[in-house]
Chain A
Amino acid sequence: MSSSLTESVPLRYAPAIEQAIVEIAALLRGSYTLSERTLALLLLQRDPEIWEEVRLQETPATLERIRAVCERLHQQSEPPLAWQIEQQRQQRSQQIASIALFQAPHAVPKRTLSDLIGRLCTNPWTGFPILAMVLYFGLYQFVGVFGAGTVVDWLENGIFGQYINPFVERLVRSLVPWSAIQELLVGEYGIWTLGVTYAMALILPIVTFFFLMFALLEDTGYLPRLAMLIDRAFKWLGLNGRAVIPIVLGFGCDTMATVVTRIQETRRERILTTFLLTLAIPCSAQLGVVLALLAMHPKGLLIWAGVLVATFLLIGWLAARGLPGTPTPFYMELPPMRLPRLSNVLFKTLARLHWYFLEVFPLFLLASVLIWIGQLTRLFDIAVRGLTPVVQALGLPSDAAVAFLFGFFRRDYGAAGLYKLNEQGALTGNQLLIAAVVLTLFVPCVAQFLVTIKERGLRAALAMFVLALSIALLTGWVLAQVLGWLGVSV
């Protein structure tokens, strides 16, 4: 760029504003990292952080005088000051752009393939079918069936189940004499057998495939279009299109999705999204087991999905009305559709995996330790006894209480426990369906719960826990009654 531009006069505002800037700058005595002119401008625009900073460094008399200058200017300003400043900045930037950029006179933007695809993705007639296809192939087939099914099966039952775990188990049992410690390390829910195996053989492949898909979608520019398509529906839930990103991520891992709610603007939206994630969005691990569980009962699978969607919408709608505040408007830039670069996608996936492991891996180990303590102190037996009447009220065998309790530690373990019960022929189709619905809606897994405490605070996390628990049990009970009345058996 030519030096004439960079050396040209700095941006000057309207005379009244300039005078106020000079007056305020002359009053400032403290030492700041920003220039006095910048400080004065921010003070005029009532920036809360800068006001706080200045309040700490200046005398009350000075503050009073600054405040007087601000008030005077604000009263004189029509249109509002912030608007004037913004306008003058925009004019200036356009002026600079007009010097620095030029457009070839008759360059008509070509209609490219990227434009066409972009248009197809945003047009409602073609956009929704494309959305359905992306979800089916990208999420269900690639992440669910291939990642969570084939690859997990090979790693968990093959590599870990046949080779690594028996070796570690023999090693620990031969080296450690105390059976309690043996249990802690390699018992049924041990640090190695549950924590490490679960994290490496189950979660790692699932999130790898999920992150890969997500990075691909992100780099094509599809996600903003998805947000734009879904915005109207999400408004109904008190959210806006932006919430689609954590919600879609939730199908991969709700724990990570809870962290991603940070992209939302207000606390209200973050709480709403976190709650919907806790309640109605099954993570990929859980999804995989539930799908396997209900695979023999296609009607049951349909009812399960229907109940889940209905709960998601109803509870979202109610929560949006119950929480104070208003939804924030939706705005997003739609970047052009691009062919993702493989290296970028891979780097992004690896970086996220690294981060994910650092955040979530210790929680799996913690879950193992908690289970170990619970079993050692017989706290679990008490909890199971407490859950048994509830489970029986849902028309389920009392053994299902154990599955529910463990559902808290591994969201899919609960479902896996049901799988065993099912193999023993202890459950009818209806019981299986009710158990699957309750387990999906049930409390978050321990990792998600801890992250929710970290992100939303203990009070909000506990409230969500209790609400999710009650809604899950209530929905299960209502479903059991409705199935009974209608005489439906799946």
Chain B
Amino acid sequence: MRVCAFCGQELTQEGIEKACRGCGAFGGCHLIKCPTCGYEQPQEPRWLQKLAAWVRRRPPEPHLVRREGETTGEAEPPQRLPLTALRAGSTARIVHIVQDSEGHWRKLTALGVVPGAVVRLVQKFPSYVLQIGYSTLALDHQLTAQIEVEPLPTASEP
């Protein structure tokens, strides 16, 4: 959560956009304006956000992270990625298993790889290693790519 450094008001993406609309500049100023008091403060660079997120082991605040080709402001639809796109160590919720004609998806289902399950990607090389519940699975690229997930914020280590 971000707050205004001057008045302490909570900053939301809508609020910032509204405040910025009245400004003559076309952007590129790296400043964000508080809608309540009008104070302009510099936006944290992305690397700093990442570093801060890493240090705090908390998810980077989604409304301040802009991804390429993505509009801000709207409630983001959950991202759907193949599990292979994730980094080793990340956690995700399975949303879908791609059904191939040869029925490989049945093997995945039998191993407990089902929509709704939370999976942790332990490693990616030389094979993919997945942790689901109390079991650990080794899969190759082909099968792992059939698992579609929605990334979850990495849980903080105790």
B contact residues around A86 at 8 Å (CB): 106, 109
B contact residues around A241 at 8 Å (CB): 127, 138, 140
B contact residues around A293 at 8 Å (CB): none
Q: Which of B71-115 contact A (CB under 8 A)?
A: 99, 103-109, 111, 114-115
A331, B107: Cβ atoms closer than 8 Å? yes
Q: State how many angstroms separate the Cβ of A446 from the closest Cβ of chain B.
A: 37
Interface centre among A224, A228, A240 (most CB of B within 10 A): A228
Interface centre among B108, B114, B129, B140 (most CB of A within 10 A): B140
B contact residues around A82 at 8 Å (CB): 103, 106
A330, B140: Cβ atoms closer than 8 Å? yes
- Stretch with Cβ within 8 A of B (4 or more), from A29-37, A229-237, A305-313, A356-364: A229-237
B136, A334: Cβ atoms closer than 8 Å? yes
A contact residues around B135 at 8 Å (CB): 333
- Determine the residue in chain B with the shortest Cβ distance to A330: B140
Q: State how many angstroms separate the Cβ of A117 from the closest Cβ of chain B.
A: 13
Residue A108 is within 8 A (CB to CB) of chain B in the complex: yes
Q: Which of A77-111 contact B (CB under 8 A)?
A: 79-80, 82-83, 86-87, 90, 108-109
Q: State how many angstroms separate the Cβ of B56 from the closest Cβ of chain A.
A: 20
B109, A329: Cβ atoms closer than 8 Å? no
B105, A331: Cβ atoms closer than 8 Å? no
Q: CB-CB contacts of A334-352 with B at 8 A, as 1s and 0s?
A: 1110000000000000000
Q: State how many angstroms separate the Cβ of B115 from the closest Cβ of chain A.
A: 7
A contact residues around B104 at 8 Å (CB): 329
Q: Number of contacting residues on B, CB 8 A?
A: 27
Q: Which of these, B109, B125, B139, contacts A330 with CB under 8 Å?
A: B139
Residue B137 is within 8 A (CB to CB) of chain A in the complex: yes
A330 to B137, CA, bound (A): 10
Q: Which of A222-260 contact B (CB under 8 A)?
A: 224-225, 227-233, 235, 240-241
Known contacts A122-B123, A124-B126, A241-B127; is-contact A332 B137 (Cβ 8 Å): yes
- Determine the residue in chain A with the shortest Cβ distance to B146: A329
B111, A331: Cβ atoms closer than 8 Å? yes
Residue B64 is within 8 A (CB to CB) of chain A in the complex: no
A329, B127: Cβ atoms closer than 8 Å? no
Q: State how many angstroms separate the Cβ of B48 from the closest Cβ of chain A.
A: 31
Interface size class, chain A: 20 to 34
A contact residues around B123 at 8 Å (CB): 122-124
Q: State how many angstroms separate the Cβ of A233 from the closest Cβ of chain B.
A: 8
A231, B140: Cβ atoms closer than 8 Å? yes
A108 to B157, CA, bound (A): 10
Residue B143 is within 8 A (CB to CB) of chain A in the complex: yes
A33 to B124, CA, bound (A): 46
Residue B42 is within 8 A (CB to CB) of chain A in the complex: no
B137, A333: Cβ atoms closer than 8 Å? yes
A331, B99: Cβ atoms closer than 8 Å? no
B127, A228: Cβ atoms closer than 8 Å? yes
A228, B99: Cβ atoms closer than 8 Å? no
Q: Which of A118-140 contact B (CB under 8 A)?
A: 118, 122-124
A334, B129: Cβ atoms closer than 8 Å? yes
A109 to B126, CA, bound (A): 26
Known contacts A80-B99, A86-B106, A90-B114; is-contact A231 B126 (Cβ 8 Å): yes
Q: State how many angstroms separate the Cβ of A50 from the closest Cβ of chain B.
A: 16
A164 to B153, CA, bound (A): 72
A329, B126: Cβ atoms closer than 8 Å? no
Where the two chains meet, the residues of A that have a C-beta atom closer than 8 Å to any C-beta of B are: 79-80, 82-83, 86-87, 90, 108-109, 118, 122-124, 224-225, 227-233, 235, 240-241, 329-336
Q: Which 5 A-B pairs have the closest CB atoms?
A: A228-B138, A330-B140, A334-B136, A329-B142, A329-B143
Known: A82-B106, A231-B127, A232-B127. 6 other contacts (CB 8 A): A83-B105, A329-B107, A329-B143, A330-B138, A331-B143, A333-B137
12 A-B interface contacts by CB (under 8 A): A87-B114, A90-B109, A118-B136, A122-B122, A228-B138, A231-B127, A329-B142, A330-B140, A330-B143, A331-B140, A332-B138, A334-B129
